[in-house]
Amino acid sequence: MRIGFKYTARITVSVTVVAITLLFAINACQVFTPKWDLVIINGQIIDGTGNPPYGADVAIKSDKIVKIGKLESERSRKIIDANGLYVVPGFIDVHTHVDRMIDTQPVVMNYLLQGVTTVVGGNCGGSQHPLGELFNKLEGEGTGINFASLIGHNTVRRQVMGSDDRAPSAEELSQMQELVKQDVLAGGIGFSTGLAYVPGRYSTTEEIIELVKMIQPFDGVYATHMRNQGEHIQEAIEESIRIGREAGVRVQIAHIKLATEDVWGEYGLITGPIDEAHDEGMEVYLDQYPYTATSSGFTSSFPGWAVAGGHDAFVERLADPEKYQAIKAALIEKRLTSERGIDKLQAIYVAKDTAHAEYEGKNLAEILDLLGREKTISNGADLIIEMQKKSQPRGIFFQMDEKDVETIMQEPYNMIGSDGKIEIPGVEVPHPRAYGTFPRVLGRYARDLGTLSLPDAIRKMTSLPAQAMRFNERGVLKTGKSADIVIFNFTEIQDMATFEKPHQYAKGIHWVIVNGQVAAEKGEWTGVLPGKVLHGSAAR
């Protein structure tokens, strides 16, 4: 019995030990198992809708915002202390050209580090085709931020009709429609035009309407780089609205500006037709970058007939002295004449020239100096033609008025969009917008100039673009939304990229969170690729 007693006692002791251990374990579970993956404490939240800031903590689980309020942060795996900082939805850039390089530069660094968590590519009529292939690659390999794409008119038209300056046949139109349909089914979120470019400039309004109709059943957006942003801007806006109305879709007018001196100050040319469209119940949006210079290939500085049929045809025309003079005269009229006495030779810079790297970052006056030529308008025109013939360079053109930039920025339906591309530090002397757009709006226009209130500036970067693009899970900092978040210091925030030295990341962005993961911390990428491809409704 003794042995039995001992044995029983031992069992009792063992059971007690196990029970106590279990109790501790259960307690430990309750106390120490993280309830959340990330909690941001002590920050001032701006929710993106235009509401004023308020103090609260934000809890994230997996890729979603799950709770906002006063939280027990010790129950989170990771804590970010945002004391003295603003916590806002990740910025959405509706107007980029990142699609050109995202397959080889998937971090999209120059956007991530300015707080952009979603970019839309495929703008101004140029996109990747087929989109399905690109999306598969990006989903397989990962991206630093979220990516969506429009379907580019020029891309589609070039495949079917080359650079021809004519209307399509019925057969060609239906081939183009078929290509648009393929890409919309693959997840394209809308259709874009670049009507100042080849071959888009050769198309009629009717052609575009027939193509835009292909995205209508899928709630796509029509995004347009219009035919004209200068003296014919009102007609161009009316054309954009007509396309939206007749195809039954909403309209986004890209990189809005009063781009020539003769229309500076004439805001009514933009807002008149848009206010009317809004009155009839249409959705019409604008986007804008916060600079007084544009950037594009020099090709768009030439008259349409001069560049029709591709580069060889252009070079051939130059050999005919009469045509050369006509091209030169048109170029002088469009690019080198100023009604206000502005020295245009100093207002046009070369951003990229594969034949003459030494021209990059210099204006036409400086290049003429370099070549030992007299700084005349005539020599400037000859220089542009010479460069175009050799290497089709890219330029930066100072052509807007700062006051207009501010006034247009205040339009409530105007979003912030960079019109930039992926940049590699040290390569070319590109427009600084690709590095600085969003911090510049916050630092210069919201803080220093007071052009916008901070909540309004944030709204133009978050909920407004989310609404225009139908990114229904993003753009607002609320429970249940995707956890795309930027944490920044409003006193510090500053774009550092300048026209002289564009390859510089902004200051003041402390953390960037993409789909719940910290993708950038203190101005550096953390090494993760949490971005998603955001598909249009046809592929969702």
CB closer to Zn ion out of 85 and 148: 148
User: Residue 147 and residue 142: Cα distance in Å, rounded?
Assistant: 10
Member of 119, 124, 150, 368 binding Zn ion (CB under 5 A) = 124
Task: Tell me: does residue 286 bind Zn ion (CB under 5 A).
Answer: no
Residue range at the interface with Zn ion (CB under 5 A); choices 103-111, 121-129, 176-184, 285-293: 121-129
Given a contact cutoff of 8 angstroms between Cβ atoms, the answer to whether 384 and 364 are in contact is yes
Q: Considering only CA atoms, give the Rg of the chain.
A: 27
Other residues' Cβ atoms within 10 Å of the Cβ of residue 86: 21
Q: In what order do the strands lie in the sheet with 146-149?
A: 91-93, 116-121, 146-149
Q: How far is the CB of 473 from Zn ion (least distance, A)?
A: 27
User: Residue 211 and residue 394: Cα distance in Å, rounded?
Assistant: 29
- Strand 76-81 versus strand 36-45 pairing type: parallel
Residue range at the interface with Zn ion (CB under 5 A); choices 117-125, 172-180, 183-191, 199-207: 117-125
Reference 499, options 410, 374, 371, 366; nearest CA is 366
CB closer to Zn ion out of 225 and 328: 225
CB closer to Zn ion out of 394 and 474: 394
Residue range at the interface with Zn ion (CB under 5 A); choices 40-48, 129-137, 217-225, 410-418: 217-225
Q: How far is the CB of 295 from Zn ion (least distance, A)?
A: 9
Task: Tell me: does residue 259 bind Zn ion (CB under 5 A).
Answer: no
Rounded to a whole number of angstroms, the distance between the first and last alpha carbons of the chain is: 74
Q: How far is the CB of 254 from Zn ion (least distance, A)?
A: 5
**Number of continuous H segments (helices) and E segments (strands) in the chain:** 17, 21
Instruction: Write each residue from 65 to 104 as x if it is in contact with Zn ion (CB under 5 A), else as -, in one continuous string.
Output: ----------------------------------------
User: Residue 378 and residue 393: Cα distance in Å, rounded?
Assistant: 19
Q: How far is the CB of 157 from Zn ion (least distance, A)?
A: 16
CB closer to Zn ion out of 124 and 538: 124
Other residues' Cβ atoms within 10 Å of the Cβ of residue 122: 30
Q: How far is the CB of 97 from Zn ion (least distance, A)?
A: 8
Residue range at the interface with Zn ion (CB under 5 A); choices 174-182, 225-233, 377-385, 400-408: 225-233
Residue range at the interface with Zn ion (CB under 5 A); choices 57-65, 67-75, 123-131, 483-491: 123-131
Q: How far is the CB of 226 from Zn ion (least distance, A)?
A: 9
Residue range at the interface with Zn ion (CB under 5 A); choices 31-39, 52-60, 163-171, 219-227: 219-227
CB closer to Zn ion out of 211 and 485: 211
User: Residue 434 and residue 147: Cα distance in Å, rounded?
Assistant: 16
CB closer to Zn ion out of 73 and 296: 296
- Strand 54-61 versus strand 64-69 pairing type: antiparallel
CB closer to Zn ion out of 102 and 253: 253
Q: How many residues bind Zn ion (CB under 5 A)?
A: 2
CB closer to Zn ion out of 82 and 150: 150
Residue range at the interface with Zn ion (CB under 5 A); choices 54-62, 150-158, 222-230, 318-326: 222-230
Q: How far is the CB of 247 from Zn ion (least distance, A)?
A: 20
> DSSP states of 39-108 as a string?
EEEEEEE--SSSPPPEEEEEEEETTEEEEEES--GGGEEEEEE-TT-EEEEPEEESS--GGGTTTT-TT-
Task: Tell me: does residue 225 bind Zn ion (CB under 5 A).
Answer: yes
SS3 label, residue 538: helix
Tokens 């500076």, residue located: 264
Q: How far is the CB of 294 from Zn ion (least distance, A)?
A: 9
Other residues' Cβ atoms within 10 Å of the Cβ of residue 332: 16
Task: Tell me: does residue 227 bind Zn ion (CB under 5 A).
Answer: no
Given a contact cutoff of 8 angstroms between Cβ atoms, the answer to whether 187 and 136 are in contact is no
User: Residue 134 and residue 145: Cα distance in Å, rounded?
Assistant: 15
Task: Tell me: does residue 153 bind Zn ion (CB under 5 A).
Answer: no
Q: What residue ranges bind Zn ion (CB under 5 A)? A: 124, 225
